[in-house]
C-alpha cells in the first residue's frame, strides 16, 4: 500500500504532461533518482507552480505508488534564480542537471552526488572561478563519487608513489605513469607538477573546499585535456545541453 514520504532533493527534469500536469525527475537524498507526477501544477493558481522547475531544491512530500510518486507538498529552500539571469550560467546549469540525470540511479545512495550538484550550482551562480573550471571539477568529482576516477597518487605501471615531477597520463591504462617506466608515449598526455597537485586535490578534497581555487591558463588546459580523455572512456552519451553550450562558446570566441 502506498504512503506519503518526505524527501529532500533537486529537480533535474520538469516535463509538461497533458494540459496542466508535469512529470518531474528529482534527485533525492533518501531514495536516489525518482519520478514524480505533479498534477495540476501548471494552473496559474497552483501553490506549487514555481516549485516544479529545474534547479529547485527543497523538501518534497510525495505519495508513493507502485512505479512512481505523486507530489503532495513542496517546501523550497533554493530556486537558484541567479542561473536565469545569465544565459551562459543557465546553459552550464542545465548541463550539470543532465549529467546528474545520466549518472545517477533509482533506489541508489546518491547523497554525495546531490551534495556535489548543489555545491556546483552554487559555484556557477557566483563569479569566483571560471565556469569551465567548475565544469571540469564537477565531471572529475562525479567520477570520484562513482569510483571510476583516474589514479593520480601512484604510477599505474610500477606502483611508485607520485612525485612532484613531470609525468604522463594514459587514460586506457587508468591514470598516471611516471617518467621511469617504459611505455608508448604516443598515447599519453604530459602532466606537470601543478596539474598533479590539482588532480590530487580534486580527487581527495571535501565538497565544501572543492571550488576554492583557480588555475593558470596552461594548467587549465591540461585539466581540460585529461578530463576530456576520461569522459571519452566512461561516458557514452551526447548531452544536448552541452552541445548548446559549446555552440554558444564558439559564437562568443568566433
The pLDDT of residue 68 is 83
The pLDDT of residue 248 is 75
Strand, coil or helix: what is 220?
Answer: helix
The pLDDT of residue 202 is 98
The pLDDT of residue 250 is 66
This model's pTM is above 0.85: yes
The pLDDT of residue 253 is 59
Contact between 24 and 11 under an 8 Å Cβ cutoff? The reply is yes
Beta sheet of 189-191, edge-to-edge order: 175-177, 167-170, 189-191
Q: What is the DSSP string of 115-153?
A: HHHHHHHHHHHS-SS-HHHHHHHHHHHHHHHTT-PPB-S
Coarse DSSP helix, strand, coil percentages of the chain, rounded to the nearest 5 percent: 40, 25, 35
Contacts of 185 (CB under 8 A, 6+ apart): 168
Phi-psi region of 109 (alpha: psi -120 to 50; beta: other; left: phi over 0): beta
Per-residue pLDDT of the chain (254 residues; tens, 9 = 90+): 578 999 999 999 999 999 999 999 999 999 999 999 999 999 989 999 999 999 999 999 999 987 789 999 999 999 999 998 898 999 999 999 999 999 999 889 999 999 999 999 999 998 889 999 999 999 999 999 999 999 999 999 999 998 877 799 999 999 999 988 877 777 789 999 999 999 999 999 999 999 999 999 999 999 999 999 999 999 998 898 888 887 877 666 55
Residue 44's alpha-carbon distances to 49, 79, 240, in angstroms, are: 7, 18, 30
Contacts of 160 (CB under 8 A, 6+ apart): 154, 178, 180
For the segment 103-125, what is each residue's pLDDT rounded down to a tens digit?
A: 999 889 999 999 999 999 999 99
The pLDDT of residue 37 is 96
The pLDDT of residue 62 is 97
The pLDDT of residue 252 is 60
Domains and CATH numbers, the chain: 4-79 (2.40.50.140), 82-253 (1.20.1440.120)
Note the Cα 74 to chain centre separation in Å: 24
Amino acid at each position: 500500500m502506498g504512503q506519503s514520504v518526505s524527501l529532500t532533493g533537486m529537480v533535474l527534469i520538469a516535463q509538461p504532461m497533458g494540459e496542466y500536469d508535469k512529470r518531474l525527475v528529482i534527485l533525492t537524498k533518501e531514495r536516489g533518482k525518482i519520478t514524480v507526477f505533479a498534477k495540476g501544477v501548471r494552473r496559474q493558481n497552483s501553490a506549487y507552480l514555481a516549485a516544479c522547475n529545474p534547479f529547485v531544491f527543497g523538501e518534497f512530500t510525495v505519495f508513493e505508488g507502485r512505479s512512481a510518486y505523486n507530489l503532495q507538498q513542496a517546501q523550497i529552500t533554493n530556486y537558484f534564480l541567479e542561473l536565469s539571469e545569465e544565459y551562459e550560467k543557465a546553459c552550464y546549469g542545465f548541463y550539470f542537471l543532465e549529467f546528474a540525470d545520466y549518472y545517477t540511479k533509482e533506489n541508489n545512495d546518491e547523497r554525495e552526488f546531490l551534495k556535489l550538484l548543489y555545491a556546483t550550482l552554487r559555484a556557477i551562480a557566483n563569479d569566483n572561478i571560471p565556469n569551465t573550471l567548475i565544469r571540469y571539477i564537477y565531471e572529475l568529482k562525479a567520477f570520484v563519487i562513482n569510483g571510476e576516477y583516474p589514479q593520480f597518487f601512484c604510477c599505474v605501471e610500477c606502483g611508485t608513489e607520485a612525485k612532484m615531477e613531470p609525468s604522463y597520463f594514459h587514460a586506457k591504462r587508468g591514470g598516471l605513469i611516471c617518467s621511469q617506466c617504459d611505455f608508448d608515449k604516443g598515447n599519453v598526455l604530459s602532466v606537470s607538477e601543478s596539474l598533479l597537485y590539482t588532480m590530487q586535490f580534486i580527487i581527495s578534497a571535501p565538497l565544501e573546499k572543492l571550488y576554492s581555487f583557480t588555475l593558470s591558463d596552461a594548467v587549465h588546459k591540461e585539466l581540460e585535456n585529461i578530463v576530456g580523455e576520461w569522459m571519452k572512456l566512461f561516458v557514452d552519451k551526447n548531452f544536448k545541453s552541452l552541445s548548446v553550450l559549446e555552440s554558444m562558446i564558439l559564437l562568443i570566441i568566433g
